[in-house]
Amino acid sequence: MPAISFVDARSTVLREVFKNRILPAVESVPLCDAAGRVLAEAVHADRDMPPLDRSMRDGYAVRSTDMPGRATVIGMVRAGQNFAATIEWCEAVEIMTGAPVPRGADAVVMLEQVARTDDVIECERPIKPGENINPRGIEAKSGAVVLEAGKRIGYSEISLLATVGVSTVTVFRPLQVAILATGDELVPVDAKPLEHQIRNSNAQALASQVVRAGAIPVTLPVAADEMPAIHERVERGLGADLLLISGGVSAGKYDLVEDVLQCFNAEFFFDRVAIQPGAPLVFGKVGAKFFFGLPGNPVSTMVTFELFARAAIDLLSGRKASPLAVVLARLTQDFKHRPGLTRFLPAKVENGEVTPVAWKGSNDLVSFCRANAFLVADAKRESWSAGEMLPVILK
Ligand code: AMP
Ligand code: MG
């Protein structure tokens, strides 16, 4: 198969997974365990938000038509209280942030904008009706959808769920993602490798990325570069919801992953992408199960996971979409690359500026760990000057 572009590869993953996905079963979890999970049903406001006209400032509740001018302070209201009386002509009530605005008042004057002498305040500026008041129901009306099904629950969603009284949350079951590292050269992390051996860092990296993506990693024993071993592990891996394989997808004589997948009648959507790192990236499906063959060089493995596998996990987990968080940053120095491939290069982003991190290729973990972002270099362009805005993806 010819290499396809980054954009085509990503849209293929999103399209195929979305089209063919079978949503996970639904379960209920306590709110305190819901962070990171995906909502399986919409959440509604259980009352108007805010439930009453609410002061946004410390100050005085007044009738805007009385201002500029003077008013007599007839009492005080703070958060957690309700003021019983109604404000009449040239009256005011001292009010705290979050407190309900007393009847009769239609604005709140900030503390800093009045002079108070005993029980009389004086304000010299005109006050608009509604000033410093969040009217009842302005954020959401009772019964309105405040969170859609398919949303990943982060800290802000936890706060909103708590606000509308959802103490038990209906979420999708977390995805099980099988991780299979292949390679004759691999030894466990706690082994002392011989010169020609390397520790299996990819299985560890992928497991942590899977966890960060809100799924459960199921790490399989390493497969040597031989058909029967890979065959046996792939069969086990296809029992999970998604299978990630590292290594064995390049063009070498001992890159057997695609041959093994052929034995399972795999459908291949692509097996090469015009990107660096990570060109020999394989994406396909055996029956209803999707798999990725991620290239074995550690940086390639991690980057292709973030660019492609994470999107598949999101959609299979029940999310509606999986946008890449691309932002623009100003380049601090001139930058060049060889066109033809879309490159995702280690970079440092700070205060809106991006600086490429010097690196020695897709095995160079030491440099990769100095980066907090990937700088995205367009395949069709060769050079950029300092000061230009470049897309970056935060790591
Ligand atoms: P491959 O894609 O199988 O040709 O692997 C390319 C290179 O990536 C290998 O020569 C190893 O140096 C490295 N590599 C492969 N698998 C792993 C792994 N599980 N952990 C760390 N490095 C790996
Ligand atoms: Mg290999």
**Measured distance between the N- and C-terminal CA atoms of the chain, rounded to whole angstroms:** 30
Per-residue model confidence as pLDDT tens digits over 44-99: 999 999 999 999 999 999 999 999 999 999 999 999 999 999 999 999 999 999 99
> pLDDT value at position 187?
98
202 C-beta closer than 6 A to ligand 1: yes
Q: What pLDDT is attached to residue 301?
A: 98
145 backbone dihedrals φ, ψ, rounded to 5°: -70, 125
Question: In tens digits, what is the pLDDT along the chain, a chain of 395 residues?
Answer: 889 999 999 999 999 999 999 999 999 999 999 999 999 999 999 999 999 999 999 999 999 999 999 999 999 999 999 999 999 999 999 999 999 999 999 999 999 999 999 999 999 999 999 999 999 999 999 999 999 999 999 999 999 999 999 999 999 999 999 999 999 999 999 999 999 999 999 999 999 999 999 999 999 999 999 999 999 999 999 999 999 999 999 989 889 999 999 999 999 999 999 999 999 999 999 999 999 999 999 999 999 999 999 999 999 999 999 999 999 999 999 999 999 999 999 999 999 999 999 999 999 999 999 999 999 999 999 999 999 999 999 99
Distance 300 CA to ligand 1 centre (A): 9
**Model confidence pLDDT, tens digit, residues 227-259:** 999 999 999 999 999 999 999 999 898 899 999
Distances (CA, A) of 299 to 42, 215, 228: 38, 21, 28
The protein residue whose alpha carbon is closest to atom 3 in ligand 1 is 247
Task: Name the residue of 186, 198, 219, 360 whose CB sits within 8 Å of the most ligand 1 atoms, as the mutation to test its pocket.
Answer: 198
What is the CA(234)–ligand 2 centre distance, in A?
A: 15
150 lines ligand 1 (CB under 6 A): no
Give backbone dihedrals phi and psi of 122, rounded to 5 degrees, phi first.
-130, 135
Q: What's the pLDDT at 220?
A: 98
Apex 191 CA angle, 186 and 196, nearest 5: 45
Tell me if 204 CB under 6 Å of ligand 1: no
Q: What pLDDT, on a 0 to 100 scale, did the predictor assign at position 2?
A: 87
Q: How many angstroms is it from 185 CA to the middle of ligand 1?
A: 8
- Residue 3: both structure tokens together: 């290499």
Contacts of 189 (CB under 8 A, 6+ apart): 199, 200, 201, 204
- The pLDDT of residue 169 is 98
Task: Report which bound ligand comes closest to the CA of 226.
Answer: 2
Q: How many CB atoms lie within 10 A of CB 28?
A: 10
What is the pLDDT at residue 308? 98
pLDDT of res. 1? 84
For residue 61, report the distance from its CA to the centre of ligand 2, in Å. Answer: 72
Check if 295 has its Cβ closer than 6 Å to any atom of ligand 1. yes
* Ion ligand 2, residues whose Cβ is below 5 A away: 183, 247-248, 296
CA–centroid distance, 137 to ligand 1, in Å, is: 57
Residue among 297, 300, 302 whose CB has most ligand 1 atoms within 8 A, to mutate: 297
Task: State whether the beta carbon of 300 lies less than 6 angstroms from ligand 1.
Answer: no
Q: Are 31 and 157 in contact (CB under 8 A)?
A: no
pLDDT of residue 144: 98
At residue 336, the pLDDT reads 96
Residue 302, C-beta contacts closer than 8 angstroms, at least 6 positions apart = 205, 206, 209, 368
CA–centroid distance, 281 to ligand 2, in Å, is 13
Best substitution site from 199, 246, 249, 259 to test ligand 1's pocket, by max atoms within 8 Å of Cβ? 246
pLDDT at 275: 98
Cα 187 off chain centre by: 33
Number of other residues whose CB lies within 10 A of the CB of residue 74: 16
